[in-house]
Amino acid sequence: MIIAVDFDGTVVEHRYPQIGRELLFAFETLKELQKQGHRLILWTYRSGKELDEAVEFCRKKGIEFYAVNKNYPEEIFEESTVSRKINADIYIDDKNLGGFPGWSVVWQMISGTNIEKIEKEKLEKTSDSAKKSGFLNGLKKLFE
């Protein structure tokens, strides 16, 4: 998926134009999302020097965004021809309806289905193995 991520109030506390403190689990979650193959786009109000500082802050924390304030790295932004809105599957932003839920909730919302599916498959395999081993052990006892 393509995930657009806001900076101020989402990755860090809102202290614009300064950079606030990192929010709990922000970078750990972003790194895991990248490991899963999601493309992260930094989508922020920041521009110029403030934007460069935010990008560098994230880079030092181990996050390199696929693109910054654009849909893909090569996109040339011209106000008259390109929408400012990023084309993404998910938008993570503190200004969404209901506010920012926190990174642990974001992780559960994005990856929860996958985790539930994996856990269910593991349980089914374990259950199947137990049934098979129980049956085989029963046969074995008959012939002992």
What gap in Å lies between CA 75 and CA 125, rounded to an integer? 46
Q: pLDDT value at position 60? A: 98
Question: What's the pLDDT tens digit per position in 1-60?
Answer: 999 999 999 999 999 999 999 999 999 999 999 999 999 999 999 999 999 999 999 999
DSSP letter at 80 equals T
Q: pLDDT value at position 115? A: 46
Return the structure tokens found at 37: 């193959």
Average pLDDT over residues 76-81: 71
Edge-to-edge, what's the strand order for the sheet holding 39-42?
Answer: 67-68, 39-42, 2-5, 90-92
pTM for this one?
Answer: 0.73
Average pLDDT over residues 62-89: 85
Q: pLDDT value at position 96? A: 87
Question: What's the pLDDT tens digit per position in 50-74?
Answer: 999 999 999 999 999 999 999 998 8
More confident position, 106 or 142: 106
Please list, in sequence order, all residues whose beta carbon lies within 8 angstroms of the beta carbon of residue 76, skipping any fewer than 6 positions away: 82
Beta bridge partners of 67: 41
Q: Per CATH, is 2-116 categorized as 3.40.50.1000?
A: yes
